[in-house]
């Protein structure tokens, strides 16, 4: 499969569809090959009907050291033509314009090529 991205932007942004108890949301995630686990803005998880406050707390490794994060299992998570059921994402506050990070936990199931010159993501 082949998807285009805006190569003039600083981040490679990918459209992601996330389903929750209250419906479906289309979100803009930054493709992040440095993130071990995908992450979604906690305010959007709340809009989808997830109880972020009672979700499981996990320890994560970051560039700045170890930290605690909340892990939420989303009903369906779709990006780049692939859908995963019951996917764990970390809930966090993210900068404006970034709804989430698409991490290695999602990307490892595919062979992925990123052509920055042409602004194309290819995978199979």
pLDDT in tens, 3-62: 999 999 999 999 999 999 999 999 999 999 989 999 999 999 999 999 999 988 888 777
- Percentage of the chain beyond pLDDT 70 is 100
Q: Does domain 2-123 have CATH number 2.40.70.10?
A: yes
Long-range CB contacts for residues 118-121, cutoff 8 Å, separation at least 24: 118/7, 119/4, 119/5, 119/6, 119/7, 120/2, 120/3, 120/4, 120/5, 121/2, 121/3, 121/4, 121/5, 121/12, 121/14, 121/31, 121/80
Stretch 95-105: mean pLDDT: 91
* pLDDT in the model for residue 93: 86
């Amino acid at each position: 499969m082949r998807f285009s991205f805006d190569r003039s932007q600083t981040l490679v942004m990918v459209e992601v569809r996330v389903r929750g108890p209250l419906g479906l949301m289309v979100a803009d995630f930054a493709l992040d090959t440095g993130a071990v686990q995908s992450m979604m803005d906690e305010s959007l998880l709340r809009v989808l009907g997830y109880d972020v406050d009672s979700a499981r707390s996990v320890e994560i490794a970051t560039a700045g050291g170890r930290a605690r994060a909340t892990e939420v299992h989303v009903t369906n998570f779709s990006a780049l033509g692939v859908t995963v059921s019951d996917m764990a994402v970390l809930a966090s506050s993210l900068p404006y314009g970034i709804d989430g990070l698409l991490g290695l936990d999602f990307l490892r199931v595919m062979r992925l090529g990123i052509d920055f010159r042409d602004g194309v993501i290819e995978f199979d």
